[in-house]
Amino acid sequence: MVNPNSIASSDYSGPIDYSASYYGLSTYFIATIAPSTWGAIGIGISLALSVVGSAWGIWITAASLMGAAVKEPRIRSKNIISIIFCEAVAIYGIILAIILNGKIEKFLNVEFPATDYMAGYMMFGAGLLVGFCNVFSGICVGISGSGCALGDAQNPALFVKMLIIEIFGGALGLYAVIVGILMTTSTSIGLTKEYVPAPTPSPK
Amino acid sequence: MGLFSGRKHGGLFTFNRDDGYLEAILRDYNNLCQCDTLEDMKMHFLSTDYGDFLAGEPSPIHTTTIAEKATQKLVNEFNHIRNQAVEPLSTFMDFISYGYMIDNVVLLITGTLHERDISELVDKCHPLGLFKSMATLSVVHNVADLYNNVLIDTPLAPYIQNCLSEEDLDEMNIEIIRNTLYKAYLEDFYNYCKFLGGQTELIMNDILQFEADRRSINITINSFGATELTKDDREKLYPQLGLLFPEGTSKLSKAEDVDQVRGILEVYSTYRSFFADGVNNEKSLEDSFFEHEVHLNRMAFEDQYGYGVFYAYIKLREQEIRNIVWIAECISQNMKQKMNQYIPIF
């Protein structure tokens, strides 16, 4: 085994064995991506996918709500709640995006890069988590909201029951936000003011 | 009924893209209470979905006017939905109207055979089953003209060409023509619903199978007195679908009287109760058919993301109009004790 960092041009001893290093040859490229890139992708995915879920839900609910409200206008104000629940799903995405955005500083922490890498991967993971959870939460709320509008039009007693089901659907997105915040709460990318480099041991 | 099973219209996630608005527009359904006079009824309509559909009609109101206006309102709603529908819903809506077209075509054939005035016949046609080539009816003088100029241009042409020839129109009994056409129509509609798949198939299968069984049973019972229909011919009229097909229908084709029909239907739990109290009284058998049909159509309203509700809506509205006319007749003839004999919808 040869440590690739200590090869001098004079004592070349065949091809370098990267398996000895921290990254294998096939995964080394991941380490070449800057941690702030991961953070930025996380922010983008979190908001973009949440909006997909939210818009899909509103679309499903609104189509049914409009049709049902033509003949039964009394349902229109009540069922706006279904639209608001779908909208809340997008707000979850915004919350996480804002939190992540506050955790990316201007300069990378070159002195101690491991914290940056950790933070970058955590932000990417949190973004995926919140994004996908909110897609499905939004669709769930949308479909039950559509059922709520139709049910309410036929039988007003169904409204509250359907609303509870929608709230459970909306709670799924909230779980993702909670875990997403937990994942990133103790991490940040770049030099923060609180960071004090560990004192170098005296050569005594 | 899986989320991603093959179907031709949207499912849980995408149904509302094309059809959500139209599906939801059907979802209000009011029931009609009972009143003392026809004027009271008119007042009562005001608070329901029917609104002021009788406005402008001079008093006293006749029951025929009520029926006419209510049917007109149904037709307007049907056309409203049909005009907004996109494929494949629009084809589905066309299929619904074919059923009424068959009745109209049969009416036209009968009228032409008896050399009645055509324009008079058009007025009697069901407005849901009007077709474009009716404009050319003025040139029709005999059955050959009717077959070659009018019927061939209707959407029913494939059914007519496949089962009837020009000579048949002259010779066959008119009821046999009607049932032959209806059989072809039902089978085609059934296959179309299968092709659509999804929730449509689920709901429409039940409804169409019942419709087919009802026709088979009715053909059997009505043919007992008639001598011109042999048993083989009778079997040819049975639609090739439904709970009774093929075993029940082949038994039905050999039945000789109503008691045998009852014996055959004993096996089928759905139809057993129909004959329990209905064998002596033809009217109540018909009523239990209607009641079961209403029940199946109501099931469609328990469902979402399928086209069954469009079919059910038209059928339930038709039944409602029949109920309104029944109640109105009872009121105008002072037979209040019979008023409750209508078929409850919701």
Chain A residues closer than 8 Å to B29 by CB: 154
Give SS3 for B237. helix
Q: Do B301 and A154 touch (CB under 8 A)?
A: yes
Q: At what angle do helices B63-84 and B308-332 cross, to 10 degrees?
A: 170
Q: Do B21 and A139 touch (CB under 8 A)?
A: no
Q: Do B17 and A68 touch (CB under 8 A)?
A: no
- A55 at B interface, C-beta within 8 A: no
Token pair, residue A106, equals 């201007």
Of B20, B49, B301, the CB nearest to A64: B20
Min distance A83 CA to chain B CA atoms (Å): 15
Largest CA distance in chain B: 57
Q: Do A154 and B16 touch (CB under 8 A)?
A: no
- A157 at B interface, C-beta within 8 A: no
pLDDT band at A99 (very low <50, low <70, confident <90, very high): very high
Q: What is the DSSP letter of A178?
A: H
Domain boundaries, chain A: 34-183
Q: Are A187 and A123 in contact (CB under 8 A)?
A: yes
Mean pLDDT of chain A: 85
* Residue-wise pLDDT tens digits, A167-197: 999 999 999 999 999 999 988 888 766 556 6
Q: Do B12 and A72 touch (CB under 8 A)?
A: no
Of B12, B21, B27, the CB nearest to A153: B27
Taking phi over 0 as left and psi of -120 to 50 as alpha, with beta for the rest, B155 belongs to alpha
Going by C-alpha positions, the residue among B307, B300, B314 that lies closest to residue B19 is: B307
* Residue-wise pLDDT tens digits, A18-64: 555 555 667 777 888 888 999 999 999 999 999 999 999 999 999 99
Does A8 score more than 70 pLDDT? no
Going by C-alpha positions, the residue among B74, B16, B124 that lies closest to residue B315 is: B74
In CATH, the number for domain A34-183 is 1.20.120.610
Chain B residues closer than 8 Å to A70 by CB: 24-25
- A60 at B interface, C-beta within 8 A: yes
Min distance A150 CA to chain B CA atoms (Å): 6
Chain A residues closer than 8 Å to B22 by CB: 67
Q: How many CB pairs under 8 A join A and B?
A: 59
pLDDT band at A162 (very low <50, low <70, confident <90, very high): very high
Chain B residues closer than 8 Å to A149 by CB: 24
ipTM: 0.74
Confidence at residue B1, expressed as pLDDT on a 0 to 100 scale = 40
Does A11 score more than 70 pLDDT? no
Confidence at residue B235, expressed as pLDDT on a 0 to 100 scale = 79
Helices (H) and strands (E) in chain A, counts: 6, 0
- A71 at B interface, C-beta within 8 A: yes
Query: Which has the higher per-residue pLDDT, A137 or B152?
Result: A137
Does A16 score more than 70 pLDDT? no
Secondary element (H or E) of residue B242: none
Mean pLDDT of each 10-residue bin along chain B, 346 residues long:
60 77 71 56 66 63 78 87 86 89 83 75 80 68 73 79 72 79 88 86 88 86 73 81 80 80 81 66 72 85 84 86 81 72 68
Min distance A139 CA to chain B CA atoms (Å): 7
Q: Do A149 and B24 touch (CB under 8 A)?
A: yes
Q: Which range, of A120-124, A146-150, B49-53, B193-197, averages the lowest pLDDT? A: B49-53
Confidence at residue B2, expressed as pLDDT on a 0 to 100 scale = 46
Chain B residues closer than 8 Å to A143 by CB: 12-13
A110-119, A138-147, B256-265, range with greatest mean pLDDT: A138-147
> Chain B: which residues have CB within 8 Å of chain A?
12-13, 16-17, 20-29, 49, 301, 304
Q: Do A71 and B25 touch (CB under 8 A)?
A: yes
Does A131 score more than 70 pLDDT? yes
Q: What is the DSSP letter of B307?
A: S
Q: Do B24 and A68 touch (CB under 8 A)?
A: yes
pLDDT band at A135 (very low <50, low <70, confident <90, very high): very high
**CA B91 – CA B24 distance, rounded (Å):** 19
Min distance B306 CA to chain A CA atoms (Å): 13
Q: Do B16 and A64 touch (CB under 8 A)?
A: yes
